[in-house]
Chains A and B, each alone.
Chain A
Amino acid sequence: MTSSDQQVDSNLSQENGLAIINSKAPFSSNYGKDALDVALIFGSFEQKVSLFFQGDGVYQLIANQDASLVSIKDYLKTFSAFEFYDIEDIYVCQQSLVNRQLDEAFHINDVQVLASVEFGKALNRHQHVLRF
């Protein structure tokens, strides 16, 4: 199968690309960084990838965090490079924000806050899903 064939295939199917669900808080594990690495590589191969933040994963987006205070290399800063990788669809679960008493104040722009049903529908628009 040539790469152009694959392109046609993915255009034909209703769902396409990869959805990555982030479910972990940013600093206590490598999950966020591992998910970020996958997202960036898909972006650099010009494959559609969208990011979903749910549960404690929403903490990855909150503004004014400073990983350096706990000696962690701040991978969250890389989120600002998403547009250079054509990663445009970034979704946050509204209920997860509400449950954690968080405002919609994020450290990157163009984040879409969605109610559970819409969050699920956005997820459904993708062919494959990985969750970290």
Chain B
Amino acid sequence: MKTLAVVVTTPPYSHLTITALTYVETALAAGIKVIGVFFYQDGAMHANENISIASDEYQAIAHWQRLNQQYQLPLHICITAAEMRGIACDSIDNEQINQAFTVSGLGELVELTTKATRLVQF
């Protein structure tokens, strides 16, 4: 079984994130088991519900949400990276956090890395 774990370090407004998204969606469509996406560094900003990107531009967050629903793709944000970027992670029903994302620690990255056949960083 080909399994893939992906690390995303770029923020939702970065055009580099589009490449990560296209790659992950292509892998999922090809039947690759993507065991999780770990959002680290500026990638953690994806979980911020207050981010608003002009409607005629690429909606990275909405696309991650779609992949999460369509393929049950696990999306983990690093709690330390999120908190230093103004996303409060202290309660479960936090309105500031996009519900498609799971607040995780770096231990989740260890878990994904040890389970995955391939680890790809974007």
Contact = CB atoms under 8 A, between A and B. Distances in A.
A41 B114 contact: no
B65 interface: no
Nearest to A128: B119
Given A30-B41, A34-B41, A41 B119 contact: no
B121 A130 contact: yes
A10 B115 CA distance: 10
A130 B110 contact: no
Contact of B109 (A1, A6, A38): A38
Contacts of A87: none
Contact of B114 (A6, A30, A37, A130): A6
A121 interface: no
Consensus secondary structure, chain B interface: helix
A37 B106 contact: yes
B119 A45 contact: no
B109 A41 contact: yes
Contacts of B40: 34, 38
B98 interface: no
Interface in A49-96: none
B68 interface: no
Contacts of B105: 41
B80 interface: yes
Contact of B115 (A1, A31, A42): A1
A47 interface: yes
B120 to A, nearest CB: 9
Contacts of A6: 114-115
9 contacts: A6-B114, A6-B115, A10-B114, A18-B119, A30-B41, A37-B106, A41-B107, A41-B109, A130-B119
Interface of A: 1, 6, 10, 18, 30-31, 34, 37-38, 41-42, 45, 47, 128-131
Given A10-B114, A41-B105, 19 more contacts: A6-B115, A18-B113, A18-B119, A30-B41, A34-B81, A38-B106, A41-B106, A41-B109, A41-B110, A42-B113, A45-B107, A47-B110, A47-B113, A47-B114, A128-B113, A129-B119, A129-B121, A130-B119, A130-B121
